[in-house]
């Protein structure tokens, strides 16, 4: 088994100052990467600014003999994303991988979700990823090499009560992945996503687990960050040849998400009614022989050439 190394590679980790982002930063640095720890140190609501988390991770990496630099701009702004990419390229002359992990959290039932909180979740997760990936993609395209890891969530793909804004933003990361993987392939750029679960301050806030809930706390302790960071290291590495793939990682298991469509029912003459939909629902929902398209055109091909 060959060793996965990041020697001479430069990686941006957004939200790299705390939680899983810090774990990703340390794992990549341990394997030789120069890590740009991009984190403005905002609170869980997405407010405020504290350079200490990013700087502390950088200090820890350097103390262990690694190389890292902090970028403490607000990535939810176009300027902040550009500056993180400029720092990597200006300081080290390259950018090889991006781990788009930054975000915030809010939990409420649908009718209690304020518009500003919903928009905040989209900005700090999805827009922040876009703000770094767009300029970063240009650098990778020139180099004809790149790895993009977008941090999604089972809360978005499968749903979770109270997590409307978080779920919408995290599912949007898969849309980013799809387009990056298609447009980057010819330039040696691959894009994948991960749905991680681990104990972090965000997980504690969402679950409401505290010292008064020892059983809940004990369970969260089984969701270890070191059971996720190696998957991100693989996805960000040259060894990763997977593209447009979503990995699930927690409790020692690594699995791949499959988003497919059933073979469905086709009206013989192309015309049908709502009653026909109801009558043929068993065929429409039958998952036997599930199709897994990689592009919109793949799905169209299944319909126009059903025997493939």
The mean pLDDT value for 192-207 works out to 87
Q: What is the pLDDT of residue 223?
A: 87
CB atoms within 10 A of CB 103: 29
Class of domain 10-257: alpha beta
Give, in order, the Cα–Cα distances in Å from 25 to each of 116, 137, 146, 195: 30, 20, 17, 17
Q: Is residue 218 pLDDT above 90, yes or no?
A: no
Q: Is residue 173 pLDDT above 80, yes or no?
A: yes
The mean pLDDT value for 80-109 works out to 97
Render pLDDT for 106-128 as a digit per residue (tens, 0 to 9): 999 999 999 999 999 999 999 99
CA 55 centroid distance within chain: 23
CB atoms within 10 A of CB 21: 29
Q: What is the pLDDT of residue 229?
A: 97
Q: What is the pLDDT of residue 97?
A: 98
Render pLDDT for 229-265 as a digit per residue (tens, 0 to 9): 999 999 999 999 999 999 999 999 999 999 999 999 9
Domain map of the chain by residue range?
10-257, 260-308
Q: CB under 8 Å to 120, separation ≥6 — which residues?
A: 45, 46, 104, 106, 165
Q: What is the pLDDT of residue 295?
A: 87
The mean pLDDT value for 52-81 works out to 98
Confidence of residue 274 (pLDDT cuts 50, 70, 90): very high
**Average predicted confidence (pLDDT) for the chain:** 94
DSSP SS3 for 249: strand
DSSP SS3 for 269: coil
Q: Is residue 307 pLDDT above 80, yes or no?
A: no
Q: What is the pLDDT of residue 305?
A: 78
Residue burial 66-75, b: 16+ Cβ < 10 Å; e: rest = bebbbbbbbb
Q: What is the pLDDT of residue 210?
A: 65
> Which positions are catalytic?
166
pTM of the model: 0.94
């Amino acid at each position: 088994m060959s060793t996965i190394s990041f020697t001479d590679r430069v990686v941006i980790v957004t939200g790299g100052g705390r939680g899983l982002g810090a774990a990703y930063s340390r794992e990549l640095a341990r394997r030789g990467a120069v890590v740009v720890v991009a984190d403005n140190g905002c609170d869980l609501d997405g407010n405020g600014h504290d350079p200490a988390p990013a700087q502390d991770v950088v200090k820890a990496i350097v103390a262990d003999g690694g190389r890292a630099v902090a970028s403490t701009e607000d990535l939810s702004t176009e300027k902040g994303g550009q500056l993180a990419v400029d720092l990597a390229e200006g300081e080290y002359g390259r950018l090889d991988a991006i781990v788009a992990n930054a975000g915030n959290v809010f939990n409420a039932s649908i009718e209690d979700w304020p518009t500003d909180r919903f928009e905040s979740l989209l900005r700090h997760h999805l827009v922040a990823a876009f703000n770094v990936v767009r300029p970063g993609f240009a650098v990778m395209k020139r180099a004809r090499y790149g790895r993009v890891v977008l941090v999604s969530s089972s809360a978005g793909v499968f749903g979770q009560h109270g997590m409307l804004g978080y779920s919408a933003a995290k599912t949007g990361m898969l849309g980013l992945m799809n387009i990056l993987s298609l447009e980057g392939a010819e330039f040696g750029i691959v894009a994948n996503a991960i749905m991680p679960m681990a104990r972090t301050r965000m997980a504690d806030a969402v679950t409401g687990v505290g010292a008064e809930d020892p059983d809940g706390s004990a369970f969260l302790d089984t969701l270890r960050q070191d059971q996720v960071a190696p998957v991100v290291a693989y996805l960000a590495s040259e060894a990763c040849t997977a593209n447009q793939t979503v990995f699930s990682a927690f409790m020692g298991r690594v699995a791949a998400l499959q988003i497919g469509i059933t073979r469905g029912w086709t009206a013989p003459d192309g015309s049908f009614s709502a009653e026909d939909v109801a009558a043929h629902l068993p065929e429409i929902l039958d998952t036997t022989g599930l199709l897994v398209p990689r592009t919109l055109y793949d799905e169209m091909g299944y319909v126009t050439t059903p025997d493939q």
